[in-house]
C-alpha cells in the first residue's frame, strides 16, 4: 500500500517534470503534427468521412515553410500497400508504397529555410485507399495555406483515362498530364471496365451515369470494410471544376449497348452534369478507337458523339465541344496485349489534347498559384 502510494507520487513527479520539459522544448525539438481535419490540408479528389481515398488521383497538397521531414500516419482502412505518387515542389511524381502506420516520405533535397509544396495522391485504380490520420513534420516546420489554381479540370472516363496498365497509374495518364501542363487542379473520375450505362460491366456493379455522383468508386463492392456507396457532396469539390472533359463508351460498346441506348444515356447524363457545372465548357471526346496492327483503329458509336453534342447545342448549350481524337493513337502507342496506351502513348495523347485546348483558347497558367 505504502509502496503503491509512493510509486504513484513518484510517477506524478516524473510526469510533471516531463511535461515541463516538453513545454520548454516545444519550439525546437517537438515535431509538428497536423490532424486530418486541419483546414490547412488542401484535399483533392474524393475522400469519405473516415477519411479514406476513393477513385484515381485523390490526395492532398500542402505548403510548408522550413520543411525537412514528413511522415504520414495512416489508419486501418489503408490498402496494403497503397501506391502513392509524391511530388516535391512541382517535380515529377515518384511512387511510394505506403501501409497502415507511420510512413516516412522521401523528400529529396529541399533547401533549408524555403517554402515547399508537397503533393501526394493515390495513383492506382484498385487498392487505392489512403486512410489519413495525421501528418508529422519536423520541428520548426510551419504549414501555410495552399492556394488552388484558377483552372480546375473534371475528367470523367474509363480505363483509357485511369492509367490502367502503366506503372504509375493515373499520374502517368493523359488527363493528369494535361492538368499538370496547364498548372491546373483536377479531379479524375475514371474506372477501368466501367460503362456509362448503369449496367454490370467487367466487374463494375454500376455504370458511370450512377457512380459519378457517388463518393466511392465501384471498387467499394469488393471492399469488405466498406461495402457500400454514399452520395458525393459536390460542394466538397473546391474549387468547382472550370472545365469538364468526358471520354467514355468503350465498355458500353464492349457490352453491346446499342447506339440509340448509348445516345440516350449520354444526353441524360450531360443534362445532370450541367446542373453541377452550369456554365463550364464541356469537352466531349470522340475516342480514338481500338488500335489494330493491320489497319486504322476501329471506332465505336460512329456518329453518336457528334449527335450528342449537336443535341445539346440545339438545346441552346453554347459551351459544349466535340474533340475528335481520331488519329491520336495508333498501334505503336499501345500495349499489344490490351490495346491501352503506354507511358509514351499517354504523353502523345496529352500533347494532342493540350494543343487542341490551346487552339480553342485555353491558356496555361504561367505559375502555380502557390509558388515555391
Ligand X SMILES: *[C@@H]1O[C@H](CO)[C@@H](O)[C@H](O)[C@H]1NC(C)=O
Contact positions vs ligand X (CB under 6 A): 28, 66, 68, 81, 83, 91-92, 95, 97, 138-140, 159, 192-193, 202, 221-222, 224, 227, 250-251, 253-256, 286, 306, 324, 326-327
Tell me: cis bond preceding 51? Omega within 30 of 0 counts: yes
Q: What does DSSP assign to residue 356?
A: H
**CB nearer ligand X, residue 45 or residue 192:** 192
CB of 222: closest distance to ligand X in angstroms?
5
Of 37, 53, 214, 44, nearest in space to 131 by CA: 53
The angle at the Cα of 74, spanning 68 to 76, to the nearest 5 degrees, equals 170
Nearest approach in angstroms of CB 111 to ligand X is 12
Task: Tell me whether residue 235 or residue 256 sits nearer to ligand X (CB atom).
Answer: 256
* Shortest spacing between CB 227 and ligand X, in angstroms: 4
Q: Which is nearer to ligand X, 58 or 161 (CB)?
A: 161
| C-alpha neighbours within 13 Å on the C-beta side of residue 337 | 4
Burial of 109 (0-12, 13-18, 19+ CB in 10 A): exposed
Least Å distance, CB 299 to ligand X, is 9
Angle formed at CA 196 by CA 192 and CA 197, multiple of 5 degrees: 125
Q: Which residue has the cell 515529377?
A: 92
**Shorter beta-carbon distance to ligand X: residue 148 or 254:** 254
Q: How far is the CB of 67 from ligand X (least distance, A)?
A: 8
Q: Smallest gap, in angstroms, from Cβ of residue 160 to ligand X?
A: 9
202/311 with CB nearer ligand X: 202
Q: Decide whether 267 or 276 has the Cβ nearer to ligand X.
A: 267
Task: Show Cβ contacts of residue 315 under 8 Å, excluding neighbours closer than 6 positions.
Answer: none
Contact (CB, 8 A) for 239 and 187: no
Amino acid at each position: 500500500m505504502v509502496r503503491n502510494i509512493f510509486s504513484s507520487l513518484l510517477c506524478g513527479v516524473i510526469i510533471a517534470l516531463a511535461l515541463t520539459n516538453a513545454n520548454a522544448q516545444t519550439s525546437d525539438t517537438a515535431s509538428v503534427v497536423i490532424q486530418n481535419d486541419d483546414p490547412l490540408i488542401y484535399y483533392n479528389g474524393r475522400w469519405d468521412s473516415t477519411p479514406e481515398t476513393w477513385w484515381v488521383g485523390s490526395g492532398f497538397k500542402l505548403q510548408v515553410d522550413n520543411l525537412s521531414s514528413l511522415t504520414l500516419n495512416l489508419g486501418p482502412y489503408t490498402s496494403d500497400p497503397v501506391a502513392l505518387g509524391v511530388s516535391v515542389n512541382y517535380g515529377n511524381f515518384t511512387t511510394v508504397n505506403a501501409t497502415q502506420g507511420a510512413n516516412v516520405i522521401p523528400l529529396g533535397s529541399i533547401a533549408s529555410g524555403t517554402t515547399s509544396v508537397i503533393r501526394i495522391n493515390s495513383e492506382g485504380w484498385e487498392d487505392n485507399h489512403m486512410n489519413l490520420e495525421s501528418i508529422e513534420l519536423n520541428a520548426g516546420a510551419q504549414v501555410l495555406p495552399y492556394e488552388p489554381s484558377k483552372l480546375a479540370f473534371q475528367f470523367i472516363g474509363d480505363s483509357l483515362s485511369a492509367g490502367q496498365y502503366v506503372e504509375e497509374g493515373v499520374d502517368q495518364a493523359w488527363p493528369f498530364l494535361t492538368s499538370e501542363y496547364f498548372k491546373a487542379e483536377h479531379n479524375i473520375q475514371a474506372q477501368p471496365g466501367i460503362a456509362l450505362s448503369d449496367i454490370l460491366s467487367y466487374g463494375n456493379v454500376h455504370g458511370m451515369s450512377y457512380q459519378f455522383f457517388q463518393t466511392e468508386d465501384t471498387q467499394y463492392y469488393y471492399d469488405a470494410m466498406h461495402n457500400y456507396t454514399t452520395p458525393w457532396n459536390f460542394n466538397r469539390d473546391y474549387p468547382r471544376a472550370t472545365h469538364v472533359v468526358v471520354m467514355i463508351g468503350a465498355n458500353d460498346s464492349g457490352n453491346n449497348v446499342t447506339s440509340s441506348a448509348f445516345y440516350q444515356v449520354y444526353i441524360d447524363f450531360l443534362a445532370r452534369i450541367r446542373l453541377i457545372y452550369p456554365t463550364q465548357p464541356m469537352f466531349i471526346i470522340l475516342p480514338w478507337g481500338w488500335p489494330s496492327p493491320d489497319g486504322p483503329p476501329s471506332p465505336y458509336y460512329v456518329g453518336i458523339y457528334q449527335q450528342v453534342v449537336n443535341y445539346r447545342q440545339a438545346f441552346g448549350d453554347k459551351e459544349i465541344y466535340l474533340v475528335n481524337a481520331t488519329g491520336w493513337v495508333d498501334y505503336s502507342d499501345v500495349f499489344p496485349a490490351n490495346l491501352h496506351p503506354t507511358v509514351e502513348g499517354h504523353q502523345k495523347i496529352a500533347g494532342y489534347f493540350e494543343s487542341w485546348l490551346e487552339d480553342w483558347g485555353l491558356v496555361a497558367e504561367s505559375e502555380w498559384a502557390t509558388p515555391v
